[in-house]
Structure 1
Amino acid sequence: MAPAVEIEVGGRTVRVSNPDKPYFADLGLVKRQIVEYFLAVGPGILGALRERPTTLERWPGGVFEGAKLSTRGDHTGDAFYQKRVPKGAPDYVETARITFPSGRPADEVCPTELAVVAWAANLGTLTFHPWPVTRADVDHPDQLRVDLDPQPGTDFADAVAVALEARALLDSLGMAAFPKTSGGRGVHLYVPIEPRWTFVEARRALIALGRELERRLPDKVTVSWWKEERGSRIFVDYNQMARDRTIASAYSVRPTPRAQVSAPVTWDELPDVRPEDFTVLTMPARFAAVGDLHAGVAERAYSLEPLMELVERHERDDDLGDLPYPPDYPKMPGEPKRVQPSKARND
């Protein structure tokens, strides 16, 4: 085992233990190189996380064949989500107090400087999951995040096609989005919004956006929560805007065999890129060349009113109300029955 090394990050000394520990063994990537990757894209990853309560997705044993992530029902995985600040964190690791849907509070890591990212990477954090809020106001999202999730029979190209239609729709509403690859097969769109709407309202706005995309592209888009109803279409995962649901940040590393990363892209290049173009090995050079393509997310804020008007129109003209929440959430006002359609029919 190699001795620990110390690196200077913004005036802080960050200790990297066991720096030669394999993290992506098939690629020859070790822990030290993961830390160095985050430092190479420092302004970008910090821009995505700064002042936001952040869940850490930790892979302390690295990524290897058969490795799996622990879930609520199975805690025997090789990796896990860290929702509370780890014990023994350095004093420069600040926190934000958030409240889970159950009403229980927690103090989550709230990155304010790049040393916090390096410290988290030393703990095995590959993927950072920031809330769509800032520490100054944890109850009102300042980002509408659109997760375009390919279902079986669809792929990244299908998600791109839907993203382009979403761009046109948002443009017609006087809004704009910043695209990025998910690091897997999907596409994420970030729409900066004024932080004066609740999670419930932002989620309903995303449902309205998804329904309008489904109306325009019925054979390509679905907002059906139940997998048995989705078919081979792109699922607009509206529940990613529910409280305590997050998506991988820009520049996060995903636990894939190629060590792919979630990469901001321009709208012009989106149709021609592939998820595997962006990895721990290739992203530093790209970042040095193009900078942070998501920097603009923090530079503007759109009103959510156009989408809220669409919510009202769907309710008034089409009798379309709320959709199911995830199973671990308390029953929400106006929510339909949270039961799988085939099971409801059988009952």
Structure 2
Amino acid sequence: MAKLAPYRAKRDFTKTSEPAGKAARRTGFSFAVQKHEASRLHYDFRLELDGVLKSWAVAKGPSLVKGEKRLAVHVEDHPVDYGDFEGTIPEGQYGGGTVLLWDRGTWEPEGDPHEGYDKGRLTFRLDGEKLRGTWHLVRMAKRPRERQESWLLIKAEDAFARSEDDTDILEEAPLSVKTGRAIEEISGKPSKAAPKKRAAAKKSATKADPPKGATRRASSSATAKGDHRVDVAGVSISHPDRVLWEEQGLTKQELAEFYVGIADWILPHLVDRPLTLIRCPSGSAKKCFVQRHSWAGLSDFIHRSMVSDDKDGKQEVLTVRDIQGVVALVQSGVLEMHIWGATLQDLERPDRLIFDLDPGEGVDWPQVIEAATAVRERLKGMGLVSFVKTTGGKGLHVVVPLTPRAAWKDALAFTRGFAEAMAADEPDRYTTTSVKQEREGRIFIDYLRNNREASAVAPYSTRSRPGAPVATPVSWDELTPDLRPNGFTVENLPERLRRLKKDPWSDLPSIDQTLPEAKSTRRKAKR
């Protein structure tokens, strides 16, 4: 309770709807960013540590521009359940104004977070709905008569960083991740500019959605309509000639038909798994953004479910059940589908683990193959069978199917220990550090995809990268230097699948195995 004494002393909980809260006994690594329109608009950045939310007020909000420093004033600890708060704090109360839940997710510290916090330099990875990748929080030297510590929030250089010429994430994605509302709608006092801003935020989603009541008839043929729409698998596609990959001239209609043609291959890996989507409404060369929750005009073919979150609350997840759902995603500009490691039937226990092998600068493709093989052999020594797929990028994913018995915390602990052991045995080849500068010449073994709400690109999903590559399952025998890591594409994958004599992952559903820590660790074919 002492940790939250300053928080409670500043608030009258008979007047404000903010959670009174108490320090949580259960420790976790959640994070939240709240847009707070008080006396001055700012963003509150919060990291869960030791049962409370360590909090900073970021005047200009977080920036995805690599190296850009945003002043973050350290404020009092908040209760963990504050990370789900959205609403209006009454005038006259501390922080009076409107609070919008702008982002949320999990964070993973690099090294000991307590040591980093005490020394004033925290490096961590965010896996949120808007903010992802590696970040730094650095404490500045305290000035005379300065009552609160000043820190700097800095985006590290990685795949999620942007340049100064790119769109500001605060402008690109202004709405609540909890309710989809604008801050004016939460306050009930819309400004003159609010309707225009709200309309702009909804425009791209609304104009691209198919009409309700579309016939759920599976068909790979396309039927032209008078308003320049086509039907693909019974789903109405607007702007079918819109080019999504300019170099290939690959259109929206062609992408939809590609997925219909490989439906039997992709659906076993997608159906009833919560999705994290990469939407690029104007094509892969234009602005893309992450989407986890529903949007205006969501197709009936894309299903919404309310599930428990890690704070004993509820959150919305999106799933598909058939190829019409996949085509409906294409209609909404989705170029990448990422899946959770568990199904809706049992979200608390994973049925797949992922080791993401991400090569740093100076690492050749044969070294990545050697790393994947080394992971396979280590797993085999533990009695675990694994499978491999290209990611459509430079790396590989080693996938371990599980009978869903272990909890997520055990899955994360196992994969972390496994990755750290490999890095300790061969530190010149492997690392578990995501900071780009420390990965040169080494392969980053990313185990953080083995969190409950983390995701990995789905088998047979396209990537929003040049060439229209596809994340593709391969057999271990195929994994040779002749195989290009991004060699499978929308254009050539159908021919590969036609020629295959056997699905390289055909045995995956029949594998019955549990983590080595489990009392009944074993592997056998399901009958």
Partner of 1:281: 491
- Once the two structures are superposed, residues 269-319 of structure 1 have per-residue CA deviations (whole angstroms, 9 ceiling, x without a partner) of 11231123201100111122226433433222311025999xxxxxxxxxx
Alpha-carbon distance in structure 2 between the residues aligned to 1:80 and 1:152:
26
Give the residue type in structure 1 aligned to 2:421.
E
Aligned positions of 1:193-342 closer than 5 A: 193-271=402-480, 272-290=482-500, 292-306=503-517
Contact 2:338–2:456 (CA under 8 A) maintained in structure 1: yes
Please report how far the alpha carbon of residue 195 of structure 1 lies from its aligned counterpart in structure 2 after TM superposition.
1.2
Contact 2:475 2:505 in 1 (8 A): no
Distance 1:14 1:295 in 2: 29
Q: Does the alignment pair 1:120 with 2:341?
A: no
How far did 1:154 drift? 1.6
Larger radius of gyration: 2
| Kept after mapping to 1: 8 A contact 2:347/2:452 | no
Q: Secondary structure at the match of 1:305?
A: coil
Mapped pair 1:93 → 2:317: no
Deviates more, 1:163-172 or 1:292-301: 292-301
Of residues 315, 320, 344 in structure 2, which corresponds to 1:111? 320
Give the 3-state SS of the residue equivalent to 1:275 in structure 2: coil
Q: Which has the higher relative contact order, 1 or 2, with Cα contacts under 8 A spaced 6 or more apart? A: 1
Q: What is the rounded CA distance, in whole Å, between the counterparts of 2:368 and 2:428 in structure 1?
A: 13
Tell me how far apart the structure 2 counterparts of residues 186 and 159 of structure 1 sit (CA, whole Å): 7
- How many residue pairs get aligned? The number is 293
How far 1:215 sits from its partner (Å)? 3.7
2:376 paired residue number: 167
Deviations 1:228-254 (A, max 9, x none): 443421111111112322111111111
Structure 2, unaligned runs of 5 or more: 1-225, 521-527
Pairwise CA RMSD of aligned residues?
2.3
Q: Pick the structure with more helix per residue.
A: 1
Tell me how far apart the structure 2 counterparts of residues 101 and 181 of structure 1 sit (CA, whole Å): 31
Partner residue in 2 for 1:7: 232
Secondary structure of the 2:507 match is helix
Q: Secondary structure at the match of 1:56?
A: strand
Task: Output the TM-score relative to the length of structure 1.
Answer: 0.78
Q: In the TM superposition, what is the alpha-carbon distance from 1:105 to its structure 2 partner?
A: 3.1
Kept in 2, the 8 Å contact 1:44–1:294? The answer is no
Cα distance change of structure 1 residues 171 and 251 upon mapping to structure 2, 3 Å threshold: same
Match of 2:214 in 1: none
Residues 100-148 of structure 1: per-residue CA shift (max 9 Å, x gap): 5566632222121111011111111111111000001111111111101
What does the per-residue CA deviation read over 1:69-123, in whole Å, with 9 as the maximum and x for residues that have no partner?
A: xxxxxxxxx1111101334334343234345556663222212111101111111
Give the drift of 1:226: 4.1
Question: The residue matched to 2:344 in structure 1 has which SS?
Answer: coil
Does the alignment pair 1:58 with 2:279?
yes
Q: 1:32 aligns with which of 253, 261, 279?
A: 253
| Change beyond 3 A, Cα 1:263–1:132 | same
Distance 1:2 1:236, change over 3 A: farther
CA contact (8 A) 1:54 1:130 kept: yes
Describe the shift of the 1:94–1:296 C-alpha distance in structure 2 as closer, same or farther (beyond 3 A).
Answer: farther
- Please state how far the C-alpha of 1:205 moved relative to its aligned partner: 0.7
For residue 329 of structure 1, what is the aligned residue in structure 2? Answer: none
Amino acid at match of 1:278: F
- Deviation by residue 1:187-236 (Cα, 9 ceiling, x = unmatched): 00110112122222111111122123224433211113444443421111
Partner of 1:84: 293
- How far residue 165 of structure 1 moved from its aligned partner, in angstroms, is 0.6
Q: Secondary structure at the match of 2:231?
A: strand
How far apart in 2 are the matches of 1:36 and 1:172? 42
| 8 A Cα contact 1:143 1:191, kept in partner | yes
The residue number in structure 2 matching 1:179 is 388
Quick check: 1:22–1:28 contact (8 Å CA) kept in 2?
A: yes
Corresponding residue for 2:4? none
Specify which structure has the higher proportion of strand. Answer: 2
Q: Secondary structure at the match of 1:136?
A: helix
The range that moved more, 283-292 or 176-185, is 283-292
Structure 1, unaligned stretches of length 5 or more? Answer: 68-77, 310-347
Following the alignment from structure 2 to structure 1, what is the Cα–Cα distance between the partners of residues 284 and 466? 8
Mean Cα displacement is larger for which, 15-24 or 243-252? Answer: 243-252
Paired residue for 2:176? none
Identity %: 30
Quote how far apart the aligned CAs of 1:174 are: 0.9
- d(CA) in 1 for partners of 2:355, 2:519: 16
Distance in 2 separating the partners of 1:21 and 1:126: 13
1:49 pairs with 2:258: no
Distance 1:30 1:298, change over 3 A: same
TM-score, L = length of structure 2: 0.53
Which of 123, 126, 141 does residue 350 from structure 2 map onto? Answer: 141
SS state of the match for residue 284, structure 2? coil
Q: 1:25 to 1:207 in 2, by over 3 A?
A: same
1:307 and 1:159 map into 2 onto residues whose CA distance is: 30
